[in-house]
Homo-oligomer: A and B are copies of this chain.
């Protein structure tokens, strides 16, 4: 089996503006994520960022991407609609998409969900425990019954999403909230995974368990089957599978 080509997309704004973030991720969060993925020989990551031409997501790059990971927060509004259209189309065709943390409000995630993707939040550096709801799920392998993070931003229910196909993780927070932290959906022929942890001021992407989940998720959402090509073809009467006894036909187009 050939390597899974992953494009790790990073907004890369906080890392340049805030020393605390730069100290944790000197080469950017996207690089930390790509490095974590590269630990698996089956995965071949590259990075792309907001400030690149076409946000680093040209038609060519997306065509050569099996799985796209998405981290954004401060600059969701700067992502061009044309690129959002393009990413959505690729997901429907079959490209995997992993949406990380504050990416819950990314244009492309809201586009694919059709809902607000709103949630409650708090920054208190509190403890989080992600419980595995399906211990057999590929994304949860190697994690045990839960994944504990000592300091995180809290996200709380209600989370404004369509019911996931599967809840892989649900989080418990020290401050008393819960959250559907690992959710899967299928849209078109593309698999989508939302994974909650990832606040920029904590070293979340240096956590071994988080890195394991990311590698698992990449493998889970690699393209499967063929490319779903959308379109609205007209089927002429003479090409119908069965003979139609035409009694009336009026076209007004």
**Contact yes or no, B235 A120, CB < 8 A:** yes
Question: How many copies of this kind of chain does the complex include?
Answer: 4
Residues of chain B contacted by A186 (CB below 8 angstroms): 162-163, 165-166
User: Which residues in B have their C-beta under 8 angstroms from that of A148?
Assistant: 241
Complex-state Cα separation, A180 to B186, whole angstroms: 18
Assess whether A83 is interfacial by the CB under 8 Å rule. no
Please state if B129 and A232 are interface contacts (CB–CB under 8 Å).
no
A116-B230, A225-B138, A226-B141 known; A122-B235 Cβ under 8 A:
yes
Q: Which residues of B contact A116 (CB under 8 A)?
A: 92, 188, 230
When distances are taken between beta carbons in the complex, the residues of chain B under 8 Å from A17 are 252
A242 to B243 Cα, complex, angstroms: 13
> Is A172's beta carbon under 8 Å from chain B?
yes
Report the bound CA distance from A178 to B133 in whole Å: 10
Q: Are B120 and A232 in contact (CB under 8 A)?
A: yes
A113 to B187, CA, bound (A): 9
Which of B136, B163, B171 has a CB less than 8 Å from the CB of A166? B163
Which residue in B132, B228, B234, B246 is a CB contact (below 8 Å) of A134? Answer: B228
- Tell yes or no: A33 within 8 A of B by CB: no
For A75, list chain B residues within 8 Å (CB): none
With a CB–CB cut-off of 8 A, which chain B residues contact A140? 225-226
User: Could you tell me if B230 and A188 are in contact, using CB atoms closer than 8 angstroms?
Assistant: no
Q: Which of these binds chain B: A53-61, A64-72, A152-160?
A: A152-160
Chain A contact residues: helix, strand, loop or mixed: loop
- For chain A residues 95-136, which have a beta carbon within 8 Å of chain B? 105, 111-116, 118-126, 129, 131-136
| Residue A151 interfacial (CB < 8 Å) | yes
Please give 19 more A-B residue pairs, beta carbons under 8 A apart, in addition to A115-B187, A124-B246: A92-B160, A105-B232, A121-B233, A124-B249, A125-B249, A129-B176, A134-B188, A134-B228, A136-B189, A137-B189, A156-B235, A162-B185, A162-B187, A163-B186, A167-B180, A171-B178, A175-B235, A176-B242, A200-B252
Which 10 pairs, one residue from A and one from B, show the smallest C-beta to C-beta distance?
A: A136-B189, A176-B241, A136-B228, A175-B240, A138-B225, A176-B242, A125-B248, A201-B250, A18-B252, A116-B230
